Structure 1
Amino acid sequence: MHKDIDRVLIDEDIILKRLDHIAEKIRADFEGKPLVAIVLLKGAMVFTADLLRRLPIHLEIECLNVASYKGTSSTGIVSFLDKKLPDVANKNVLIIDDILDTGRTLEAVAEKLSDNGASMIKTCVLLTKDIPREDFKEANYSGFDIANEFVVGYGLDYNGRYRNLPFIGVLKQSVYQD
């Protein structure tokens, strides 16, 4: 598995230190307010587990299974794979995703949750790709800005693999190109 990685972009120690910083910002914004953390599956699972353990506030955790990628490219369509959305009526919501790329996923999920009555919606991502976005500009909380490279590890995958790497690495092009 490690032989498929071109280079380590962000090592585990750096990720964990940055999570402390993100958690402090979230804690300050949501202190004394009930919070529903909505994890976008499957990519944000590892990030979310480590982040939420750092938050000393009352919160509920919900999962939402969405898909917008095939291989290394966005399909441009956000598919909601769950039949039922979490109950967010009159609740403060934090949507947690692994990476902000086009912004379509976060935008679509935020819109659905808003339509279902969420009081406040904020977004949190581990990574933000440095690319132009049409509508959705930025997440409220972001761990790292990265170049437009295909990365895996720490929950991020290529065709379901590499999620268990403890770091963020750039996948060798030879692994995903024909």
Structure 2
Amino acid sequence: MRNDIERVLIDEAVIERRLDSMAVEIERDFPDGTLVVIILLKGALVFAADLLRRVPRPLEIECLNVSSYEGLESSGQVNFLDRHFPDVKDRHVLLLDDILDTGRTLHAVSERLYQEGAAVVHTGVLLAKDKHRAEEVEADYVGFEIGDEFVVGYGLDYKGRYRNLPYVGVLKLEAAN
């Protein structure tokens, strides 16, 4: 797998330090009480697990399976793949995703959470691409700003591979073929 990586963009130690800081920000920003955390599967699973172990408060953790990518590109649509939607009525919600790219996923899921009655929805992402977005959305908590490159590792994949890498790396174009 390492041969498929053009370069390591963010190494494991840097990610760990940033997660410590993000946890402090989250703890500071949310009021007392239980926080409902919605993890977008599968990409945010590794990031969310490592981040949430650092948040010293009661958490209810839910997962949503959504899809918006086909290969290297966004499909332009967000598909909710689960029949069950978490109960968020009158609750404070933290929505976690792996990467903010076009903005469609965070926008669609945030809107749905508000439609379901969430009192407050904050969003957090491991990575935010520095690019024009199809939807006007920014994350409340961002691990790292990156360029417009196709990255894998630390939960991010290409065709189901590379999620288990302990770092974020840029995928070689020839590995994507």
For residue 175 of structure 1, report the CA deviation from its aligned partner: 1.1
Equivalents in 1 of 2:160, 2:75: separation in Å? Answer: 16
Aligned length: 177
Paired residue type of 2:165: L
For residue 31 of structure 1, report the CA deviation from its aligned partner: 4.2
CA contact (8 A) 1:33 1:92 kept: no
The alignment yields a C-alpha RMSD, in angstroms, of 0.8
Paired residue type of 1:35: L
Q: Who is 1:155 aligned against? A: 155
Equivalents in 2 of 1:136, 1:37: separation in Å? Answer: 22
CA contact (8 A) 1:7 1:169 kept: yes
Pair 1:19 & 2:19 matched? yes
Equivalents in 2 of 1:150, 1:166: separation in Å? Answer: 16
Paired residue type of 1:25: E
For residue 60 of structure 1, report the CA deviation from its aligned partner: 0.3
Equivalents in 1 of 2:90, 2:127: separation in Å? Answer: 29
Equivalents in 2 of 1:78, 1:133: separation in Å? Answer: 14
Percent of residue pairs bearing the same amino acid type = 60
Q: What is the DSSP-based 3-state SS (H/G/I as helix, E as strand, rest coil) of the residue aligned with 1:62?
A: strand
User: Structure 2 length normalisation: TM-score?
Assistant: 0.98
Equivalents in 2 of 1:136, 1:62: separation in Å? Answer: 25
Question: 1:89-127, CA deviations, whole angstroms, 9 ceiling, x for partnerless residues?
Answer: 010000000000000000000011100000000000000
With 31-40 and 166-175 compared, the bigger mean Cα shift is at: 31-40
With 148-157 and 134-143 compared, the bigger mean Cα shift is at: 134-143
Q: What is the DSSP-based 3-state SS (H/G/I as helix, E as strand, rest coil) of the residue aligned with 2:60?
A: strand
Equivalence map 1:135-154=2 (5 Å): 135-154=135-154
Equivalents in 2 of 1:61, 1:163: separation in Å? Answer: 21
For residue 24 of structure 1, report the CA deviation from its aligned partner: 0.3
Paired residue type of 2:65: N
Equivalents in 2 of 1:66, 1:77: separation in Å? Answer: 10
